[in-house]
């Protein structure tokens, strides 16, 4: 389907679409309609909608086809699904969205494509992402959400993910070789860093809405902690953890209270059986380097906390870190000390805490107090 973007259900466009909007799905019949309605209200570029589906057993296909979008069946895994959808795409530009994304402004796509075209005049190897706006149904964690939203506007290593949307030219996407589909997820992180190596990232105008459901149902701090562990393991090249972890990435509809003790048990198992007592120090040294490279985040958090006084565009503590603190910390002894601290905290304190607090007896006591 191609749309002129005039209105939902608007006139079909016989011309080749300027933009291909690609959405990976698995059982998203309940989630897709609001996004498809938002896309139908977009004004500006002619675009087509292609859904790459990983084996839905609900009414996802019916929802897609009723909206006039194209349904492409693919092997499950977001990377494989999006690659399959791209193979049928006709647009000069590609925009990858998650099914729970929302487009509040009717000119969001027009502004994004125009911004990317202007940036491409200086460097054709450019890709864009949107800052996020979390759509929440429960109160609480206001500052934490504000921090995540502010961080999504940056263009730093490991801050660009698929829920921010990904806009780039078809030529650049083909040059990058598409998504790595060797894992069921993290395809966005791998492509994002490949873009960073070969080109430049652009923060697009406007904000893209995304559901906070996973944080709300799994527990904000538990989900954020697991995300940190996943990215840490990914950074040191430990793909076995991601493959073997129990239910590490559950579908949105299957989310519930997140138990972390099985993940810590897996880490201890890998220490004993995979890395060994000789290899474990090397793993945690690399984790120390990863954490040190992300030491800017606490500084930025304080800047976000002080935004009502400083203004959203001023980040004095982040500037302090980048100019003076980061060069001092960039050495092997610091990485070793941070790695040792990481081992003590994660494999000692947190392992014990979640093992104790996730026992049936503790849960019964907690429910009795309620």
pLDDT at 14: 45
Q: CA-to-CA distance for 207 and 210, rounded, in angstroms?
A: 10
Q: CA-to-CA distance for 227 and 222, rounded, in angstroms?
A: 9
pLDDT at 7: 35
Indicate whether 323 pLDDT > 60.
yes
| Domains in the chain: boundaries | 2-211, 217-369
With pLDDT > 70 as the criterion, what percentage of the chain qualifies?
90
Q: What's the rounded mean pLDDT across residues 51-78?
A: 95
Tokens 């002894």 correspond to: 333
**Three-state DSSP class for residue 44:** coil
Q: What are phi and psi of 20, to 5 degrees?
A: -110, 120
The pLDDT confidence band at residue 238, using thresholds 50, 70 and 90, is confident
Q: What angle do CA 243, 173, 229 make, to 5 degrees?
A: 30
The pLDDT confidence band at residue 313, using thresholds 50, 70 and 90, is confident
The pLDDT confidence band at residue 11, using thresholds 50, 70 and 90, is very low
Domain 2-211 has CATH 3.90.550.10: yes
Tens-digit pLDDT profile for residues 123-147: 889 999 999 999 999 999 999 999 9
Q: CA-to-CA distance for 317 and 303, rounded, in angstroms?
A: 6
Tens-digit pLDDT profile for residues 93-112: 999 999 999 999 999 999 99
């Amino acid at each position: 389907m191609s749309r002129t973007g005039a209105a939902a259900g608007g006139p079909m466009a016989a011309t080749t679409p300027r933009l291909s909007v690609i959405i990976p799905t698995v059982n998203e019949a309940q989630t897709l309609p609001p996004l498809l309605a938002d896309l139908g209200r977009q004004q500006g570029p002619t675009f087509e909608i292609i859904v790459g589906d990983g084996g839905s057993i609900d009414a996802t296909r019916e929802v897609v086809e009723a909206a006039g979008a194209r349904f492409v069946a693919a092997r499950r895994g977001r990377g494989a699904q999006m690659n399959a959808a791209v193979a049928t795409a006709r647009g000069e530009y590609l925009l990858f969205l998650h099914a729970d994304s929302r487009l509040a402004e009717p000119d969001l796509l027009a502004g994004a494509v125009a911004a990317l075209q202007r940036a491409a005049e200086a460097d054709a190897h450019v890709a864009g992402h949107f800052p996020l706006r979390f759509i929440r149904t429960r109160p609480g964690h206001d500052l934490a959400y504000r921090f995540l939203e502010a961080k999504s506007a940056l263009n730093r290593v490991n801050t660009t993910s698929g829920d921010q949307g990904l806009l780039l030219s078809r030529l650049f996407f083909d040059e990058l070789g598409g998504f790595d589909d060797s894992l069921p997820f993290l395809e966005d992180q791998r492509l994002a860093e490949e873009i960073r190596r070969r080109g430049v990232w652009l923060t697009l105008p406007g904000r893209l809405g995304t559901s906070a459901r996973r944080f709300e149902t799994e527990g904000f701090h538990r989900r954020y902690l697991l995300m940190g562990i996943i990215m840490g393991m990914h950074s040191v090249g430990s793909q076995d953890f991601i493959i073997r972890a129990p239910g590490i990435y559950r579908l949105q509809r299957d989310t519930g209270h997140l138990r972390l003790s099985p993940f810590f048990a897996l880490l201890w198992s890998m220490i004993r059986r995979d890395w060994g007592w000789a290899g474990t120090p090397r793993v945690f040294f690399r984790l120390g380097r990863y954490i040190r490279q992300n030491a800017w985040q606490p500084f930025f958090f304080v800047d976000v906390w002080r935004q009502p006084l400083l203004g959203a565009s001023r980040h004095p503590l982040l500037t302090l870190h980048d100019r003076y603190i980061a060069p001092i910390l960039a050495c092997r002894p610091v990485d070793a000390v941070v790695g040792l601290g990481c081992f003590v905290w994660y494999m000692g304190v947190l392992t014990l805490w979640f093992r104790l607090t996730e026992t049936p007896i503790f849960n019964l006591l907690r429910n009795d107090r309620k």
